Amino acid sequence: MRNVQHYHQKTLGWPDIGYNFLIGGDGNIYEGRGWNVVGAHAVNWNSKSLGISFIGNYHNYKPSAAQINAAKNLLAAAVSRGQIVSGYVLYGHRQVGSTDCPGTHLWNEIKTWAHWKA
């Protein structure tokens, strides 16, 4: 987390971590900007989205089952807390910005989720 924070603050010049939440390989969820602060994760989408980052390289590796479960639980919690609507649409970073993120393996995973939209 400190590496992400350092990169976002010192290299990118942001006031803090850009994502709302991050999910570690062990399934732990880390709060970046949290629920009620606009993220800095996807230009033109920050104010109308929740930025969730999976910590790791998903060009080379598959996300862990713990990460996948944590992400789904986080999204369910967001709905139950009223942070996002129950009919939310899930997009991968590459759909809203010029990037290969979230990596092929994670991309293939989220495309199977019920709320994902092409």
Question: pTM value?
Answer: 0.91
What does the pLDDT look like over 48-77, one tens digit per residue? 999 999 999 999 999 999 999 999 999 999
Residue 115 lies in a domain: no
What does the pLDDT look like over 22-42, one tens digit per residue? 999 999 999 999 999 999 998
Q: 31: helix, coil or strand? A: strand
For residue 45, give every residue at least 6 positions away whose Cβ sits within 8 Å of its Cβ, in sequence order, or none: 91, 96, 97
Check pLDDT > 90 for residue 98: no
Q: Tell me, rounded to whole angstroms, the distance of Cα 39 from its chain centroid.
A: 10
Determine the pLDDT at residue 49: 92
Check pLDDT > 90 for residue 100: no
Look up the CATH number of the domain holding residue 59: 3.40.80.10
Cα angle vertex 78, ends 75, 79, to 5°?
90
Phi-psi region at 65: left, alpha or beta (left = phi > 0; alpha = psi -120 to 50): alpha
Q: Residue 87's domain spans which residues?
A: 2-110
Q: For the chain, what is the domain count?
A: 1
Determine the pLDDT at residue 38: 92
Residue 117 lies in a domain: no
Residue 83 lies in a domain: yes
If pLDDT is split at 50, 70 and 90, which confidence band does 91 have?
Answer: very high
Mean of the pLDDT values across residues 103-108?
92
